[in-house]
Amino acid sequence: MFDSLAEKLQATLADVRGRGTLTEDDINAAMREIRLALLEADVNFKVVKSFTNAVKERALGADIIGKLNPGQQVVKIVSDELTDLMGGAAGDLAFSPRPPTIVLVAGLQGSGKTTAVAKLARYLREEHHSSVAVAACDVYRPAAVDQLIKVGAQAGADVYEQGTDRNPVDIAKWAADRARTEGKDVLIVDTSGRLHVDQELMTELANIKKAIGPTDVLLVVDAMTGQDAVNVAEQFAEVVDFDGVVMTKLDGDARGGAALSVKAVTGKPILFASTGEKLDQFERFHPDRMAQRILGMGDVMTLIEKAQGSYDEQQAAELERKLRKQEFSLDDFLDQMRQIRKLGPLQSLLGMIPGMGKEMRGVKIDEKEFDRLQAIILSMTPQERRHPELIKGSRRLRIAKGSGTNVQAVKQLIKQFDQMRKVMRQVSQGRMPDLGALMRQSR
């Protein structure tokens, strides 16, 4: 179940290597795997059907070109088609030329609307330097208004609320007027969760829209939604003709096929991704990356971007020089460790590396382990850090005591460091080390 589609396709088409073209049987075998993978990812089965047909058409008779083996070729076709279907570049909100820009947020119960409203408010404040107000129109769920008051304040937005006694349409209208009077750039309107088949509440939503004339209507969709995502999206599209989607709970391990279904069925772009409980865990949605996630191919782009964001070019050049001259010391090791940790929790980083998925499956990274390693290195003298081979009995004991660890841990660290130096020497000599073997060894 956890094997990535790319791996499966490689295996399915392994014996085709050497033949010139893919036969229909090869393709059919591959399509079965694709179908299962997409269904497992909760892509709507109708969407799966039309998708596999499109892939089949392109794959049939396709010459095997260049360096790609048949498996890779099909993977590429699948990936291209999927990226096409998800839509190319990331979309954005429309902003009104005459503020306030009004954003109406709707969705099913429990999809994460209120949290998304607060996150969007924070995002617009930070990224667009907008003054933001949020309106509390969920008068049905107990304490929903209290929740928005709290998270809205955390997000630095003004919270417009009138308790739960007034009609949501009136509250929305009142809030829109107030945002205008107070000269806000953006007003985000939170609504209560509603079922797409609840006519009364859907009519109410349409009335809210009519009353405030929003610049954008956003539908909030839980990334874990199954086949029903299509029904939900179609109904909301019909009633309020939303402009874009916020996918929530993408920090879980759901493949998020719902994103593909919603896009395929309604044609509406997915604009934002909500990826955690903290208010800043909210970002523009990248359709191409989602395509990779659905296929289980890793999220290389995100990783590269994160690395670029926090890595200093000069430091990199210096490191390269040291590697070449084999001057890499424990100080540099410490530096590296700190650099990597700046990227975020290691667990999530590893998931983004293609091919790492299988090797690292089920491996739990103990972040505290890094604190211990750091403590050990910091307990060494500068001399010892440059020449770890100096560290013998009494030095080892001193370091263990100083770092609050034991002699075993110190020994282990030096051993790992030696292995790492060896690998780095290989890399700098142009040989690719076996990363998987290294991972297993060091555990």
Partner 1 sequence: MARDWRELFIVDGAEPLPAATVEEPERRIGRFRRLRDSLRKTRQALQSEIQATLFEDLSDETWERLEEALIYADVGASTTAKVVGQLEQEAAENRLTGGQELSDRLVELLTGIAQTGDDTIDLRAHPTVILVAGVNGTGKTTTLGKLAWHLSRELGRSVVLAAGDTFRAAAVEQLEQWAQRADVAFVKGGPGADSASVAFDAIAAARRDGADVLLIDTAGRLHTQDNLMAELAKVRRVIAKQIPEAPHETLLTVDATTGQNGLRQAKAFSEAIDVSGLVLTKLDGTAKGGIALAIASELGIPVKLIGVGEQLEDLRPFDAAEFARALVT
Residue 106 β-bridge partners: 219
**Nearest partner of 127 among 119, 116, 139, judged by Cα:** 119
Q: 216: Cβ–Cβ under 8 A, 6 or more apart, which residues?
A: 93, 94, 101, 102, 103, 104, 243, 244
Is there binding between residue 159 and partner 1 (CB under 8 A)? no
Q: Using CB under 8 A, which of 150, 166, 173, 398 touches partner 1? A: 150
Query: Which residues from 198-227 bind partner 1, rule CB under 8 A?
Result: 222, 224-227
HSE-up of residue 287 (Cα within 13 Å, Cβ side): 25
DSSP string, 363-426: PPP-HHHHHHHHHHHHTS-HHHHH-GGG--HHHHHHHHHHHTS-HHHHHHHHHHHHHHHHHHHH
Q: Using CB under 8 A, which of 119, 249, 289, 385 touches partner 1? A: 249
Is there binding between residue 47 and partner 1 (CB under 8 A)? no
Q: Using CB under 8 A, which of 61, 88, 110, 382 touches partner 1? A: 110
Burial class (CB in 10 A: 0-12, 13-18, 19+), 129: exposed
Is there binding between residue 375 and partner 1 (CB under 8 A)? no
Q: Using CB under 8 A, which of 231, 336, 339, 374 touches partner 1? A: 231
Closest CB 116 distance from partner 1, rounded Å: 11
Q: 16: Cβ–Cβ under 8 A, 6 or more apart, which residues?
A: 22, 23, 26, 69, 70, 71
Q: Number of residues in contact with partner 1, rule: CB under 8 A? A: 44
First to last CA, the chain: 25
Residue 89 or 195: the one with the smaller Cβ distance to partner 1 is 195
Query: Which residues from 3-42 bind partner 1, rule CB under 8 A?
Result: 36, 39-42
Residue 45 or 369: the one with the smaller Cβ distance to partner 1 is 45
Contact 107, 137 (CB under 8 A): no
Range 142-166 burial, b when 16+ CB lie within 10 A, else e: eebbebbeebbeebebbbbbbebee
Q: Which stretch binds partner 1 (CB under 8 A): 202-210, 248-256, 383-391, 403-411?
A: 248-256
Helix, coil or strand: residue 162: strand
Closest CB 17 distance from partner 1, rounded Å: 28
Closest CB 424 distance from partner 1, rounded Å: 31
Closest CB 147 distance from partner 1, rounded Å: 4
Q: Using CB under 8 A, which of 4, 131, 147, 215 touches partner 1? A: 147
Query: Which residues from 407-426 bind partner 1, rule CB under 8 A?
Result: none
Is there binding between residue 370 and partner 1 (CB under 8 A)? no
Residue 275 or 403: the one with the smaller Cβ distance to partner 1 is 275
Residue 78 or 279: the one with the smaller Cβ distance to partner 1 is 279
Burial class (CB in 10 A: 0-12, 13-18, 19+), 276: middle
Q: Using CB under 8 A, which of 195, 316, 407, 435 touches partner 1? A: 195
Dihedral angle of Cα 59, 64, 69, 75, to the nearest 10 degrees: -20
Is there binding between residue 357 and partner 1 (CB under 8 A)? no
Is there binding between residue 109 and partner 1 (CB under 8 A)? yes
Closest CB 402 distance from partner 1, rounded Å: 29
**Nearest partner of 91 among 237, 206, 242, 205, judged by Cα:** 242
Residue 61 or 345: the one with the smaller Cβ distance to partner 1 is 345
Q: Using CB under 8 A, which of 155, 159, 258, 297 touches partner 1? A: 258
**Nearest partner of 137 among 111, 101, 163, judged by Cα:** 163
Closest CB 79 distance from partner 1, rounded Å: 21
Is there binding between residue 257 and partner 1 (CB under 8 A)? yes
Closest CB 427 distance from partner 1, rounded Å: 32
Q: Which stretch binds partner 1 (CB under 8 A): 69-77, 80-88, 144-152, 304-312?
A: 144-152
Cα dist from 177 to 58, 174, 356, whole Å: 54, 5, 53
Is there binding between residue 45 and partner 1 (CB under 8 A)? yes
Q: 423: Cβ–Cβ under 8 A, 6 or more apart, which residues?
A: 433, 438
Cα dist from 431 to 88, 357, 419, 425, whole Å: 36, 23, 15, 9
Is there binding between residue 111 and partner 1 (CB under 8 A)? yes
Site for partner 1, rule CB under 8 A: 36, 39-42, 45, 108-112, 140-144, 146-147, 149-151, 154, 195-197, 222, 224-229, 231-232, 249, 251-255, 257-258, 277, 364
